[in-house]
C-alpha cells in the first residue's frame, strides 16, 4: 500500500463535497481536502487516521493549539503540521485574509 499524505484547508466558503483533489504517483497518494469548520476538520482527520494516512498538513487557520488537538485525535501516530509564515509578512497576510 502506498503512503498517504493529506492537506486540509478550512474556510466557510468551501464545499467539501466538491472542493478536493487527489494525486497519485508511483510512490504516494496525496489528497487535498477542504472543511468548513472545526467539527468537519476533526471528522476528516479521524477518517484519514483510520485509513492509514501517515502525514497531514493543515492550513494556518488551525494554529498551534488546534493542530495539537488533531495530533491527540490520532494518538500521536500521524505526523501533523500546520502552515505558518514569517512575521515580517503579517501585514500582507492580514490584507489578504482580512483579519
Percent of the chain at pLDDT > 90 equals 94
| Mean pLDDT of the residues in the chain | 96
pLDDT score of 82 more than 80: yes
Q: Per-residue pLDDT for 1 more than 90?
A: no
Question: What domains appear along the chain, each with residue ranges and CATH number?
Answer: 4-97 (3.40.50)
Query: Both ends of the chain: CA-CA distance in Å?
Result: 42
As a whole number, mean pLDDT of residues 80-98 equals 92
What is the tens place of the pLDDT at every residue in 60-77?
Answer: 999 999 999 999 999 999
What does pTM read for this prediction?
0.91
* Residue 45: pLDDT over 80: yes
3-state SS string for 10-72: ECCCCCCCCCCEEEECCCCEEEEEEECCHHHHHHHHHHHHHCCCCEEEECHHHHHHHHHHHHH
Strands (DSSP E) contained in 1-99 are: 4-10, 21-24, 29-35, 55-58, 79-82
Contact 45, 68 (CB under 8 A): no
Closest listed residue to residue 6, CA positions, set 62, 45, 36: 45
Assign 99 a pLDDT band (cuts: 50, 70, 90).
low
Amino acid at each position: 500500500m502506498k503512503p498517504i499524505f493529506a492537506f486540509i484547508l478550512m474556510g466557510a466558503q468551501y464545499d467539501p463535497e466538491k472542493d478536493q483533489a487527489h494525486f497519485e504517483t508511483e510512490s504516494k497518494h496525496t489528497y487535498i481536502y477542504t472543511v468548513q469548520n472545526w467539527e468537519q476538520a476533526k471528522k476528516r482527520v479521524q477518517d484519514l487516521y483510520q485509513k492509514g494516512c501517515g502525514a497531514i498538513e493543515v492550513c494556518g487557520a488551525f494554529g498551534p493549539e488546534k493542530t495539537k488537538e488533531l495530533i491527540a485525535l490520532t494518538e500521536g501516530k500521524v505526523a501533523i503540521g500546520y502552515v505558518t509564515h514569517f512575521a515580517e509578512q503579517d501585514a500582507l497576510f492580514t490584507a489578504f485574509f482580512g483579519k
